[in-house]
Amino acid sequence: MKRQDVAFAAGAIVVLLMGFGAVHAVANPYFFFAGYVIVQYVVLATAWNILGGYAGYINFGPAALYGAGVYTSALLLKAFGAPLVVNIVAAGLVGMVLGLMMGYLTLRVQGVYFAIATIALVIMLETVVHNIEYLGGARGLALIAPEPPAWAVGRTQFVFLVLLAIAVMSVALARWIERSWIGRGLRALRASEEAAECAGVATLRLKLAACAVSGALLAVAGAPYIYYASYIDPGSAFSLTLGLNTIAMPLIGGTRSWAGPVIGALLLASVQQAATVTISSELNVLMVGLALIVFIAAAPDGLIGLAERLRRKMHA
């Protein structure tokens, strides 16, 4: 094991221990309500970046996979009273299958056409949910989640900890992909799909793998939501705003490495949470739009790329 891997593993354990400690040390549940949203975006941005950042296939439909996870979990909770861990695994499997189906799209469509096709997936799944009465249809579904384990202090704290664990695992997986032969293959694919294929890179298999992993993680991010809000509706689960945020965060942080989406999500989601209870209103969405324009113009490789550029300039 390399020194960097040891440092990463130690950092991951520290994050988990800090989360567990915070649940017991901080009495005010609000911080876990807000923290849940921030950590959820860390998972979403990391998951999106595996396909959108590493492979360069822009998925405009992360909300479709997230929504699929939300509704899979709610379905299992309503039908069987399934525990959260089962719901998370099931959501991951559903997301993986949907991701694979999306991956097969790449056989026929690329670039902007792929992006448009992924938007269609959001509309399709939302329409399906609208027409399933058992899932509440357009009116939404209210479910009271079971009591959390005693060690978790409260329900919000429990789902926060679960999502924090998911976030740590997602980031670890993204980091492993980035540094493995898969990551190298995906980078080649992003640079030039034809050239990569000529050089012997198994592009289809890599694209399918990236779609499946990205899809599974996006869906897993949605699984605990019903435990958090006790209510789901198609408008929130398949929200285009959620999709926009998910794409904006890696672009702001940087799409080339695992740290970019984490930094982007922590920054943007924290500012948004603060804005909701301070300046509020349209400024929230405007902020995302402005941040995107600024970063695309001034720092196309995100904060990580900007820092790298500044470091090089200083050493030059």
Partner 1 sequence: MISRRRFSKIAAGTGLALAAPALSTSSLAQAQPIKIGTSISLTGPLSGTKNALTGYQLWRDDVNAAGGLLGRPVELVTYDDQSSPAQIPAIYSKLVDVDRVDLLISPYGAVLSAPVMPFVKQRDLFLVGMFALAGNDTVRHDKYFHACPWGPNSQVNWARGFFDLARAAGCTKVAIMSADIEFAKISAAGGKAISEEYRMSVVYDQSYPPNQTDFSAILRNIRAAQPEAVFVCSYPPDSTALIRGLSEVGIGDSVKIFGGSMIGLQYASLLANIGPALNGIVNLHLYVPEPTMRNPAIDGFLARYEPLARAQQLDALGHYVPPFCYAAGQIIEAGVKGANTLNHAQISRYLHANPVQTIVGRATFNELGDWTEKRVLMVQFRGIRGRDVEQFRQPGRQVILDPPPLRTGELVAPFGAARSG
Which residues form the interface with partner 1 (CB under 8 A)? 28-30, 33-34, 36-37, 127, 130, 137-140, 142, 144, 155-156, 228-231, 233, 235-236, 239, 241-242, 273, 276-277, 280-282, 284-285
Tokens matching residue 68: 């699929």
CA-based end-to-end distance of the chain? 33
Cα gap 164→143, rounded to integer Å: 23
In three-state form (DSSP H/G/I as H, E/B as E, the rest C), the secondary structure along 3-22 is HHHHHHHHHHHHHHHHHHHH
In this structure, which amino acid lies at residue 164? L
Of 4 and 230, the one with the shorter C-beta distance to partner 1 is 230
Of the pair 285, 299, the CB lying nearest partner 1 is at 285
Report the nearest approach of partner 1 to the CB of residue 48 (Å).
18
Instruction: Using the minimum distance from each CB to partner 1, give the nearer residue, 102 or 153.
Output: 153
**CB-nearer residue toward partner 1: 21 or 235:** 235
Q: How far is the CB of 95 from partner 1 (least distance, A)?
A: 19
In the bound complex, what is the minimum distance in angstroms from residue 232's beta carbon to partner 1?
8
Distance CA 279, CA 282 (A): 9
Nearer to partner 1, 110 or 236 (CB): 236
Give which of 158, 143, 159 is closest to 79, Cα–Cα: 143
d(CA 250, CA 247): 6
Collect contacts of 77-83 with beta carbons under 8 A, ≥24 apart.
77/143, 77/145, 77/226, 78/134, 78/141, 78/143, 81/146, 83/146
Q: Shortest approach of partner 1 to residue 91 CB, angstroms?
A: 17
E strands, the chain, are 141-142, 231-232
Provide, rounded to whole angstroms, the least separation between the CB of residue 256 and partner 1: 30
Q: Kindly state the smallest distance separating residue 136's Cβ from partner 1, in Å.
A: 9
How much of the chain is in helix, strand and coil states, percent to nearest 5? Answer: 80, 0, 20
Least gap, CB of 242 to partner 1 (angstroms): 8
Q: What angle do CA 257, 264, 155 make, to 5 degrees?
A: 110
DSSP 8-state assignment for residue 52? I
Beta bridge partners of 314: none
CA–CA dist 216, 218 (Å, integer)? 6
- Per DSSP, the residues of 136-164 read TGGG-EE-PPPPPPGGG-SHHHHHHHHHH
Q: Residue 83 or 235: which CB sits closer to partner 1?
A: 235
Residue 54 or 238: the one with the smaller Cβ distance to partner 1 is: 238
When the beta carbons of 180 and 241 are compared against partner 1, the nearer one is 241
Minimum CB separation of residue 226 from partner 1 in Å reads 11
